[in-house]
Structure 1
Amino acid sequence: MIDIIKTEREEDARISDILQGAVDPHVHSGPSIAPRAIDHLALAKVYSEAGLRAVVTKDHDYSGVMCAQMIRDHYPDLTTKVYSGIVLNNVVGGLNAYGVEHTAAMDGRIVWLPTLAAENHLEWEKSAGWSHPAATAKIRPATAVPLFEDGKMRPELLDILDVVAATGLALASGHIHVSETKQVFAEARKRGVERLIFTHPEDIVGASFDDMKEIAAMGAYAEHSLAFFAEGSKFRNRTEEELRAFIDCVGPERTILASDLGQVGTLTPLQGMRRGIATCFALGYSDADVRAMVATNPATVIGLEG
């Protein structure tokens, strides 16, 4: 029993060490129209105590850059710096280049292509039995924000890609189909976009391992949501061995692990990060590999120096 306790303490210490300087680039903290278990400020306090360097808050319905700026300004002692971004869903006007420019001007870090309003997501909902937690009570259901018209990318999308290239924002694929991601990322590269994130290829977007390899070859990072893998998460639909397969597909050097948590009735973001790191250790990944996936790679893709 003493040896078991000692081993558990050693692993806890090892996880805590990995979290020093980590970055969680995908957290659903509040306030939000959907129920959230933790708000942006409380998250920053918890993550600061744990030693994380930065967090990027994500809301499907608004750009969180103003909240993030206020926290950075009024709580300078918090060591976890709060950033945010914009998701191109209905509430912000869909493919709204003005919103993207504004997000960049306020030190936003990521622009996500449509999530709840992606044509692919709306098709996925029909078989998944999922809907926005606030859709029936507070807001009308999402309507599609198409990226293509007559087989070509809409001019509004091309405008946004140019804004992303000019401002250095990271472009994340959101919930669009993998076939669309390939086309948009290829065009983004042509237009000078340097930071690309392939959002949770393990769920919703219809990606194969070959797709992942092709997109990683464009210079994108594959971002995996620990909410789908961590034991105790209500969203868990993948096994630990599947996590290994996803990581090994493109290697730790092209992989990001994010919590994708903050919702009610499930793990906290910090619990998700800790359990995800513990799983990586159990799968045999080195400290250097895990640190790349939870610290170096996400810091690089959101433009943190050093």
Structure 2
Amino acid sequence: MATSEQNREEARRLMAGVDEDLAARLLRGAIDLHVHSGPSTMPRQLDHLQAAEEAIAAGMRGVLFKDHHYSAAPFIPLMERLIANPDFSMFSGLVLNNSTGGFNPYVVDAQLKMGAKLIWMPTAQAANHIRSSHRKSRLVSNVQLMASPALTVVDELGNILDSVKQILDKVAEFDVILSSGHLHVWEIWKLFDEARSRGIKRLLINHPMYGLHFTYADIADFAKLGVIVEQSAAMYVDSRFNVYSPQELKEHIEAAGVANSSIGSDLGQVDNPTPVEGMRQAIKLCLALGFSEADVRTMVADNPARLVGLAP
């Protein structure tokens, strides 16, 4: 098995052969639904306004800000007034960690009414994440918060919790995105079955092969149900979070198929590429791996736009 440095070296080698102008053209119009800018409990190399300004300079169409411990959704109107660019869209959502209320439908209702576009299941405080952190994976947070109960969407019999059902009804009512967060794949199957039965149309899985215990068959089966499978650029490009080889990126995308795949940067941490640079590298890497320009645009622009309700 290749080391992270070997993966990064291979990625750099492949990206070097891709035309910079072509990558820049494909970055224009892209939407990054996984931006970790600040302020945050964890160190970030740029704040939300700086992340938006960098994306605008690259010609991108929009970004979605994600923080594990608060929602930036209520601040979007303020940032829109400061940026004043009608051609650029900013979004945020709520992660259902204990620090934001956990499975509290009242908090979800309020955030949706303040413009949240995405509801993530628990991440840093999910039971599956905590188990992964015990194994010292890259899902480990570098900030020490109060000890938190491990969150799961099911009861002791494996049934979806009533509070989660209430939240799903709210997601369906507002027609926003539901993300699997860092739940275990078994929980995600239960959750998404329930979500689909309650009319949720916008379903998203983040980095399924990392920490969530997916198989390629799981990815393919979710894709057949219309779920969008997002790959995190940070895990494949020249990043300190790199854990996969370029060939594995190709395999992970092909498991879902381009039509059901998207790419988000999952970047904004210090000592890493910026979100925009991560997206640029991911585009170059996909082109080097043989994906067509149309394929790349589908993954970085069209599918994200469809998720947030923007026209292609």
User: Where on the TM-score scale, by shorter chain, does this alignment land: which range?
Assistant: over 0.9
Of structures 1 and 2, the one scoring higher in RCO (CA 8 A, sep 6+) is 2
CA offsets 1:100-132 (integer angstroms, 9 cap, x no match): 222221222110000011111111111125532
1:85-164 aligned at under 5 Å gives the runs: 85-129=93-137, 131-135=140-144, 139-151=145-157, 152-164=159-171
CA offsets 1:26-84 (integer angstroms, 9 cap, x no match): 11000001110110000110000101111000000001102222111232127432110
Does 2:310 align with 1:304? yes
In structure 2, C-alpha distance between the alignment counterparts of 1:164 and 1:195, rounded to whole Å:
9
Which sections of structure 1, spanning at least 5 residues, go unmatched? 1-6
Residue 251 (structure 1) aligned to one of 249, 252, 257: 257
In structure 1, C-alpha distance between the alignment counterparts of 2:92 and 2:236, rounded to whole Å:
24
Amino acid at match of 1:244: K
Residue 39 (structure 1) aligned to one of 47, 57, 75: 47
In structure 2, C-alpha distance between the alignment counterparts of 1:207 and 1:158, rounded to whole Å:
24
Residue 213 (structure 2) aligned to one of 206, 212, 225: 206
1:219: how far off?
Answer: 1.3
Give the secondary structure class of the aligned counterpart of 1:222. strand
Aligned pair in 2 of structure 1 residues 102, 222: CA closer, same or farther (>3 Å)? same
In structure 2, C-alpha distance between the alignment counterparts of 1:81 and 1:198, rounded to whole Å:
22
1:9: how far off?
Answer: 10
For the 8 Å contact 1:51–1:79, the answer to whether it is kept is no
1:143: how far off?
Answer: 2.4
The alignment's TM-score, normalised by the length of structure 2, stands at 0.91
Amino acid at match of 2:93: G
Give the secondary structure class of the aligned counterpart of 1:60. coil
For the 8 Å contact 2:17–2:288, the answer to whether it is kept is no
**2:76 corresponds to which residue?**
68
Give the secondary structure class of the aligned counterpart of 1:197. strand
Aligned pair in 2 of structure 1 residues 213, 129: CA closer, same or farther (>3 Å)? closer
RMSD between aligned residues: 1.6
The alignment's TM-score, normalised by the length of structure 1, stands at 0.93
Aligned length: 296
Aligned pair in 2 of structure 1 residues 272, 236: CA closer, same or farther (>3 Å)? same
